[in-house]
Amino acid sequence: MPKVPVIKLRKRHAIACIVFWLLALILVLNRHYSFYSSYDQGIFNQVFWNSLHGRFLESSLSSQLSTNVVHQGEVPTVYYHRLGQHFTPALLLWLPLYALFPSPATLSVLQVTLVAAAGLVLYVLARQYLAPPLAGTIAVSFYGANAIVGPTLSNFHDISQIPLFMFGLLLAMEKRWWWLFWVLAVLILAVREDAGVGLFGVGVYMVLSKRYPRAGLAVCTISFGYILLLTNLIMPLFSEDISQRFMMERFGQYAQGDEASTLEIIWGMVSNPWRLVVELVSPPGRTMSYLLGQWLPLAFVPAVAPASWIVGGFPLLKLFLGKGQSVLAINIRYAMTVVPGLFYGAILWWSGHAEWFKKAWFRRFWILCICLTLFFSFTSSSSALNRAFYFLLPDSFDPWVHISLPRQWHHVTQLRPLVAQIPPDASVSATTYIIPHLSNRRAIIRLPALQFRNDEQQVMKVDYAIADLWQLQQYQVAFKPERNDLQAIVAGIQQMTDEEYGIIGFQDGVILLQKGVTSKPEAAAAWSVFLKGA
């Protein structure tokens, strides 16, 4: 095994990494503890919690999003294997850390640390070709990129592993550490079922560049074959979500009927090339703005870097050929898959054009680009997608929607005592932003749903239900999803209180109900007052 040399970082880059890590950590922890982490954070935390207790990668929250529940009206199950939705065994790498600190906040810390570490590996990768000042500027660009900042400040997600693994794999290729290269290739494939698309791009580069054609051909074969095997044979063993939900939601325009396998989607693309071309550039305005946003932190160098198009082109192709608002949203997790290829291509381009960095005007232009991408990262990360800066920027100007930090934390002090009344082994249904804080349990679902199927396959109603109606009230004046949720949950609570649930707590717009008890008079009175003012 070759000896790994000691990595020496420039002081400026080390400071940039530390500043990114500290600021991001403060923001994500404030976001979580002030009850702004949401459903996906709860899913991943429950997946880790169940795995810690021997029920690997199971989640009732994921079950609630499954095709059986969404499309067929079945009841969520506590024993649902998330591998049917997303094949993510790489998460088990971090299970020992979670065992030490079993909390949803641990996942936020892990995500920030993974991304910060990816920047360090990127610097070492850039140093294989470039002088320290230029390599350091590329690394700083990474920490400011909208496609990095937005997903890092959001809920925990499996794609946060991709930059670290991909930069490590590319560094191993440059150093010819083939043992590490293949270990990281396996880890990338284990991140999720579509991670092989990015790995396929690396293989294509290895072939086209003629640097390592044999290894590149092996990478292409393994990654493409793995995707087909996984999505067509293995994942359907757990559930039908991949063909009935995810393929149809993202690539249903290429399919006929109500479900399709990846092979059928690929054939639909190949057999109708005109539709493929139209989807590739549609909508043209959003497609171009997405590319500009990805290129901006690197002063648009990836636009003229052939390797960026080769390595980053395949994850881009997957996004451009899909449908839905999220595929072209640069501040959510899918954008992170494109970043490694763009940055690696930029490094290779700079290796042949280093004289441009000596031009003062270009350095100033690059600094301006980094400042702009930081500004866009700031504004987009205050959006409804993650609300990391909810206390600094309003969510809406007309009508005005803004919650100050003191007001939110006052609300938290009223909310936490109600959350604390729910026993750790009780089943519960909760609103979105409360779910992560209660997800260390076997049975949890989202309101207004109340029923679940337990390990004995019996349909049960939850023991407790808790809803943060105040938060929904703040946002419903400007956002339709919150308005619809508020109406549905209020109607559901009325029905619950008419049947077998009693109100045992109501504070600052947060209501707590328990099955099989009589409502407390003061809590019921507060609920009546709330209804009159709603």
DSSP assigned state of 5: P
For residue 34, CA distances in Å to 31, 261, 408, 412, 433 come to: 5, 41, 7, 6, 9
Sign of CA dihedral 113, 116, 120, 121: positive
Question: What pLDDT score does 382 carry?
Answer: 59
**Integer distance in angstroms from the first to the last C-alpha of the chain?**
68
**pLDDT of amino acid 384:** 59
Cα–Cα distance, 521 to 511 (Å, whole number): 13
CA–CA dist 238, 258 (Å, integer): 19
The predicted pLDDT at position 411 comes to 97
- Tokens 């396998």 -> residue: 261
- Amino acid in the structure at residue 162: I
pTM: 0.94
Q: pLDDT tens digits for the chain (534 residues)?
A: 444 444 455 677 888 899 999 999 999 999 999 999 999 999 999 999 999 999 999 999 999 999 999 988 999 999 999 999 999 999 999 999 999 999 999 999 999 999 999 999 999 999 999 999 999 999 999 999 999 999 999 999 999 999 999 999 999 999 999 999 999 999 999 999 999 999 999 999 999 999 999 999 999 999 999 999 999 999 999 988 888 887 888 888 888 877 888 888 888 888 888 888 888 888 888 899 999 999 999 999 999 999 999 999 999 999 998 887 778 889 889 999 999 999 999 999 999 999 999 999 999 999 999 999 999 888 876 565 678 898 988 888 889 999 999 999 999 999 999 999 999 999 999 999 999 999 999 999 999 999 999 999 999 999 999 999 999 999 999 999 999 999 999 999 999 998 899 999 999 999 999 999 999 999 999 999 998 876
Total residue count of the chain as it appears in this document: 534
Taking each continuous run of H as one helix and of E as one strand, the counts in the chain are 26, 9
Element (H, E) at 309: helix 306-311
pLDDT of residue 7: 47
What pLDDT does 4 receive?
Answer: 42
| Residue-wise burial string across 267-291, b where 16 or more C-beta atoms lie within 10 A, e elsewhere | ebbeeeeeebeebeeeeeeebeebb
Q: Please give the Cα distance from 220 to 200 (Å, whole number).
A: 5
